[in-house]
Structure 1
Amino acid sequence: MGTAVPPASYTQKDVLDTFGITDQRIRSIFLRGAIERRNLTLPPPGPDGRPAAETQSELLRKHTETGLRMGREATERCLKDIGAALADIRYLCCVTSTGFLTPGFSALLIKDLGIEQSCQRLDVVGMGCNAGLNALNAVSGWAAGHPGELALMVCIEACSAAYVFDGTLRSSVVNSLFGDGSAAVAVRAPGRGREQRSPAPALLRFSSHIISEAVDAMRYDWDESHGKFSFYLDPEVPYVVGANVETAVQRLLEGTGLRTGDIAHWVVHSGGKKVIDSIRVNLGLSRHDVRHTTGVLRDHGNLSSGSFLFSYERLRDERAAVPGDFGVLMTMGPGSTIETALVGW
């Protein structure tokens, strides 16, 4: 796999000072959320020296340019990581929720990188932070039907292109949380005569748990007062997720003979400190169990659909997983939904 972020990294204090935010309530939101730094693509300074206001058109251009640059870097690093070439890619799935493009990132990356024109593709757009696992489900299904052929999923989230700056507490929570990033992961089912064991885990099964009564808890929709799209995050989200996460995991493990205590590795979306704490408490996990998730939150913030892959990369690099271990991948997002996958080494 491979990841990429913009070159500019800002502490939370950097962001507050850059935008000239002095309201102590807003500063508290930024400084007490367990996030130290985020990679962001901030607008150039205006006449007053502070970042200039951006129109929806400018934000969409940022989404395209920043996203394409990060997606290209993540894809190239992923291929280098597995010793593959661009010509080996047979299926490309791109995931994003920070802007709407037609044609989408899959077509743009195929052109930009010179991927074979016969490459099959899919764009998953607008599903939110949970979308990485929804897309991985589709990618693994394609791979299972094409043994030995290489599929790539690339999550591309330019969250700097999806914000409203109005000084309210509602928008400040969102603006304090998200960072820019892209993550690419390769998926390949063993082909005939290629049954050697891989150090990467096998995707064993997927499960969804949709909380329909909280359908409006997370939204990205048009804000008439600002003339652009904005993200709404209900303050009850951590408690909604926490109240349902045990059911979601039980559904995933049903029929496997496994229990929560049998899971050695937890790769969870870095949705925010309160969300992570709620999941940890309700599943009886230790801080060590979610160390990679909290580490990604600390260093990058919430990277939307690709967050869990940044956490998985840290688990992989740690080399803590051994044959026979099981792990759970988990993402949460609009719907409201908790997506899970069971993996085994």
Structure 2
Amino acid sequence: MTTSIASAEELSVLTGLTEITGFAGVGTAVSATSYSQTELLDLLGIADPKVRSVFLNSAIERRFLTLPPEGPGGERVPEPQGDLLDKHKKTAVDMGCRALENCLGSAGASLSDLRHLCCVTSTGFLTPGLSALIIRELGIDPHCSRSDIVGMGCNAGLNALNVVAGWSAAHPGELGVVLCSEACSAAYVLDGTMRTAVVNSLFGDGAAALAVVSGGGRVAGPRVLKFASYLITEAMDAMRYDWDRAQDRFSFFLDPQIPYVVGAHAETVLDRLLSGTGLRRSDIAHWLVHSGGKKVIDAVVVNLGLSRHDVRHTTGVLRDYGNLSSGSFLFSYERLAAEGVTRHGDYGVLMTMGPGSSIEMALIQW
């Protein structure tokens, strides 16, 4: 007995969309300065062997960061929350503008072609939101529709793509952009504890933008066929960004068990994503997984039966940038697009993970 594979048009019915959204271009940007893990240990004056081990065994070589200012003795001085919010605003807007312009250039479009801008960030809170600030900064048509997704964490890029795919289907032929801009330098606490050491060893600054359009026109990249989501309610507190009263600022927390929690549930979400499509895991040619950390990637590889080649761009982005939060998977997609190995008809899976704890996936086809 053979199982038929649904066509792209049939799969679009599963999403409830009358038009299929395609990737038209991608662009990325980072902050001004990068550091190796060894350089960071020296600059931050970290001598604790256990903390140093976390940094040096992270599978990360370099990250882009905006470090705190130097104190009188040359040590890095922890910044008050107000200064961190200012850093987030400046860095997220700057990186976001550059990533957006790079993305539109990749799509062969200009700022005047943009009709919807959806901005994603979790490293600071802004009102007006990032979308409004970027529209003003770049002189984009003020009639451009916009949306902001704030506080959803590392998974939020796919949540945003789901939203913009719906907008795109309702506005065929018009250009929409998902823009993830994460100034992780604005979310650090320097207190020497193992809790913050895990975070401080992992995240980096980065922005990534993806241009999408529907309506049957030619696009450079794949089309989005289906989404699947899963909220692991019993692990709601395993990843969180909340107020640290002792430090008088927000602080990010990662439970040491989170890689195993994500890995244990990845198969459930993938099965739901492929349900009704006639596809098997072996039919998926390309995997773009969030660069959440070495242990997270390992857990996903083991539980989904992937090869190291399958996640080469995921691990490459982690190595060169660290965890870039919501935009990490788009950095991987940019590398895959530049690699030139995809063929017409290939299927791919996008996977992001974040607070909640949550897993998001999307099925795409070239």
TM range (shorter): over 0.9
When normalised by structure 2's length, the TM-score is 0.92
**Deviation for aligned residue 1:82:** 1.2
Match of 2:114 among 71, 80, 89: 89
Name the counterpart of 2:250: 229
The answer to whether structure 1 residue 298 and structure 2 residue 327 are counterparts is no
| 1:71-106: CA deviation from partner (whole Å, max 9, x where unpaired) | 010011111111111111110000000000100100
Aligned-residue RMSD, C-alpha: 0.7
The answer to whether structure 1 residue 138 and structure 2 residue 170 are counterparts is no
The answer to whether structure 1 residue 163 and structure 2 residue 184 are counterparts is no
Q: Give unmatched runs, 5+ long, in structure 2.
A: 1-25
Q: Distance in 2 between matches of 1:223 and 1:125?
A: 19
Q: Distance in 1 between matches of 2:89 and 2:217?
A: 40
Provide the secondary structure at the position in 2 that maps to 1:121: strand
**Deviation for aligned residue 1:198:** 2.7
**Deviation for aligned residue 1:196:** 4.7
Name the counterpart of 1:109: 134
Q: Distance in 1 between matches of 2:249 and 2:142?
A: 35
Q: Taking every aligned residue pair, what percent have the same amino acid on both sides?
A: 65
| 1:97-147: CA deviation from partner (whole Å, max 9, x where unpaired) | 000010010000010000101100000000000000001100010001000
Paired letter, 1:206: F
Q: Distance in 2 between matches of 1:278 and 1:215?
A: 19
Provide the secondary structure at the position in 1 that maps to 2:363: strand
Name the counterpart of 2:67: 42
The answer to whether structure 1 residue 63 and structure 2 residue 84 are counterparts is no
Paired letter, 1:249: L
Q: Distance in 2 between matches of 1:59 and 1:169?
A: 21
Q: Distance in 2 between matches of 1:169 and 1:222?
A: 17
Q: How does 1:192-207 map to 2 (within 5 A)?
A: 195-207=216-228
Name the counterpart of 1:78: 103
Name the counterpart of 2:296: 275
Q: Which runs of 4+ in 1 moved over 6 A?
A: none
| 1:238-285: CA deviation from partner (whole Å, max 9, x where unpaired) | 000110001110010000000111100000000000000000011110
Provide the secondary structure at the position in 2 that maps to 1:62: helix
When normalised by structure 1's length, the TM-score is 0.98
Provide the secondary structure at the position in 1 that maps to 2:211: strand
Q: Give unmatched runs, 5+ long, in structure 1.
A: none
Paired letter, 2:115: R
Match of 1:316 among 290, 314, 337: 337
Match of 1:209 among 217, 224, 230: 230
Q: Distance in 2 between matches of 1:329 and 1:157?
A: 19
**Deviation for aligned residue 1:209:** 1.1
| 1:128-177: CA deviation from partner (whole Å, max 9, x where unpaired) | 00000001100010001000000011101000000111111111001100
Name the counterpart of 1:327: 348
Match of 2:56 among 28, 31, 43: 31
Provide the secondary structure at the position in 2 that maps to 1:6: coil
Question: Does the CA contact (< 8 Å) of 2:78 and 2:189 recur in 1?
Answer: no
Question: Does the CA contact (< 8 Å) of 2:168 and 2:176 recur in 1?
Answer: yes
Q: How does 1:255-266 map to 2 (within 5 A)?
A: 255-266=276-287
